[in-house]
């Protein structure tokens, strides 16, 4: 494996994963053309609610990719099918729960964030439409994770790109032509989510291995294997809870500074999401290679994956930071045309230049651990980073206001990188032990 092979996976995966925040980013950009900043705030609050719901169960994609990659590395067709069926079953149950509890979720989230009355009204409109897309999104996470883990990268990219093109076209049509306002952007996202799921399901229906041997429910919920998957998912769930605590506290603090500051921070945070998901492409590439190395007991492949991950953490940070520094004004203007919001965003956007350097190693090394399905270090490192964030938040915000808020977020990003990097030697040792074990089996 060399740089070309690594980038052959990382680049299309980056294109694929960066489409996730584009759903919220497109919504923000479309309503940002309207004169009322409360609309941007409404989308920001609505988006954070859905990001919370989706990120809590983002493990459905991540763990599916890891287990599917290991099955692929071991050439185990049956286990590959089960790597799809088990999380698919979980996604259906979770989706049903969200739909049944949609009102308590909406009311509890708005009470927690406590936005201004007009912002809350728009957020409620946005939520009441997008909630019906939850089943499609969660099931699509599973489909995409399986496609990525089994090496069908181009297919996953096509699904995501088509979803976002449809979302953008419909959002512009519904808002600019039909004058549906915030309901229009929510409806556009819902339709795009359904389209992506339907297309993914059609693609799965063409897989001969799935048609011939889809497992019965008894095998899907077989206690031993199901418990292993749930342990991995539990660690990733806790990791996501910590991450969402950071994001939600950030939004709540932003709301306490007023509607315009909330809107400005929402714009900057959407740009941050795009940067973070750019790294997610490299992380997914590392996860796939690490999973195949684990399944095949190939320590050489793992060592190359670790090296490539570290190198591209540095290269991509330089690229993203330089790109934002040169084009920051143009990027901000994509999301809003409101002068006061632009002025506020430009006052605080220097923190986004530091973000790539602070977060890159934590975001990319994450893939190594998920590919190996070694998720306890991910959980632990995120808990430690959250504690550091809380200390910074309640120390720096009273002193420096919104600058202190962004400073705290950078401290958190450094923490998640540093604490996870401390576990890499332990992961190295695990791969060495697996290779020696495989050699003994082969010798016998």
Given a contact cutoff of 8 angstroms between Cβ atoms, the answer to whether 52 and 130 are in contact is no
Q: Is the Cβ–Cβ distance between 174 and 184 less than 8 Å?
A: yes
* pLDDT band per the 50, 70, 90 thresholds, residue 17: low
User: What are 188-209's pLDDT values in tens digits?
Assistant: 999 999 999 999 999 988 876 6
For 259-268, 348-357, 392-401, 423-432, which range has the lowest pLDDT when averaged over its residues?
Answer: 423-432
Percent of the chain with pLDDT over 70: 90
Q: Which two tokens stand for residue 337?
A: 């045309």
Banded model confidence at residue 24, pLDDT cuts 50, 70, 90: low
pLDDT higher than 90, residue 8? no
Q: Give residue 296's pLDDT band: very low, low, confident or very high (50, 70, 90).
A: confident
Model pLDDT for residues 90-125, shown as the tens digit of each residue:
899 999 999 999 999 999 999 888 888 888 999 999
In sequence order, which residues have a C-beta less than 8 Å from that of residue 298 and are 6 or more positions away? 73, 292, 435
| Its pTM surpasses 0.85 | no
For range 282-309, the mean pLDDT = 85
Burial class (CB in 10 A: 0-12, 13-18, 19+), 383: middle
* Contact assessment for residue 203 and residue 158, using Cβ atoms and an 8 Å cutoff: no
Q: What is the pLDDT of residue 408?
A: 96
Mean pLDDT of 371-397: 92
What pLDDT, in 10s, does the model give residues 158-170? 898 898 889 889 9
CA distance linking residue 444 with residue 440, whole number of Å: 6
* Residue 444 predicted with pLDDT over 60: no
pLDDT of residue 20: 62
As a whole number of angstroms, the distance between CA 282 and CA 286 comes to: 6
Predicted pLDDT at 435 = 58
CB 96 within 8 A of CB 152: no
Whole-angstrom distance, CA of residue 442 vs CA of residue 435: 11
Q: How much is the average pLDDT of 437-441?
A: 47
Burial 110-134 (b: 16+ CB within 10 A, else e): beebebbeebbebbbbbbebbbbbb
- The span from the CA of 29 to the CA of 342, in Å, is 12
Instruction: Using the predicted structure, report yes or no on whether residue 438 has a pLDDT greater than 60.
Output: no
Across 236-245, average pLDDT: 86
Helix (H) or strand (E) holding 249: helix 223-256
- pLDDT > 90 in the chain, percent: 35
Residue 65 CA to residue 80 CA, distance in Å, equals 10
pLDDT reading at 154 higher than 90 = no
């Amino acid at each position: 494996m060399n740089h070309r092979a690594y980038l052959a996976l990382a680049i299309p995966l980056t294109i694929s994963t960066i489409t996730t925040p584009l759903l919220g980013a497109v919504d923000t950009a479309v309503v940002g053309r309207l004169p009322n900043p409360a609309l941007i705030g409404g989308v920001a609050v609505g988006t954070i609610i859905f990001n919370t719901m989706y990120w809590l169960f983002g493990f459905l994609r991540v763990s599916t990719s890891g287990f599917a990659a290991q099955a692929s590395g071991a050439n185990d067709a049956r286990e590959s099918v089960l790597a799809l069926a088990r999380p698919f079953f979980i996604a259906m149950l979770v989706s049903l729960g969200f739909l049944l509890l949609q009102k308590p979720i909406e009311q509890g989230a708005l009470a927690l964030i406590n936005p201004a009355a007009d912002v809350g009204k728009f957020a409620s409109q946005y939520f009441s439409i997008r909630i019906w897309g939850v089943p499609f999104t969660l099931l699509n996470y599973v489909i995409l994770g399986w496609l990525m883990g089994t090496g069908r990268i181009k297919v996953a990219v096509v699904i995501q790109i088509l979803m976002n093109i449809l979302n953008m076209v419909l959002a512009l049509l519904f808002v600019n032509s039909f004058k549906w306002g915030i309901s229009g952007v929510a409806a556009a996202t819902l339709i795009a989510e359904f389209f992506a799921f339907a297309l993914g399901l059609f693609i799965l229906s063409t897989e001969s291995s799935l048609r011939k041997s889809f497992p019965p429910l008894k095998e899907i919920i077989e206690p031993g294997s199901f418990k292993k998957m749930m342990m991995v998912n539990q660690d990733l769930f806790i990791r996501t809870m910590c991450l969402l605590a950071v994001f939600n506290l950030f939004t709540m603090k932003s709301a306490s500074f007023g509607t315009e500051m909330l809107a400005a921070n929402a714009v900057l945070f959407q740009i941050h999401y795009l940067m973070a998901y750019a790294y997610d492409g490299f992380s997914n590439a590392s996860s796939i290679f690490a999973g195949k190395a684990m399944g095949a007991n190939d320590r050489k492949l793992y060592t190359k994956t670790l090296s490539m991950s570290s190198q591209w953490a540095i290269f991509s940070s330089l690229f993203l930071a330089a790109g934002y520094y040169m084009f920051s004004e143009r990027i901000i203007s994509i999301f809003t045309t409101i002068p006061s919001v632009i002025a506020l965003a430009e006052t605080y956007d220097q923190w986004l230049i530091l973000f790539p350097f602070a977060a890159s190693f934590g975001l990319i090394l994450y893939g190594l651990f998920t590919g190996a399905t070694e998720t306890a270090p991910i959980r632990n490192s995120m808990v430690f980073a959250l504690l550091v964030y809380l200390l910074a938040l309640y120390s720096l915000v009273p002193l420096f206001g919104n600058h202190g808020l962004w400073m705290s977020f950078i401290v958190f990003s450094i923490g998640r990188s540093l604490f996870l990097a401390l576990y890499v030697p332990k992961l190295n040792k695990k791969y060495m032990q697996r290779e020696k074990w495989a050699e003994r089996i082969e010798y016998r």
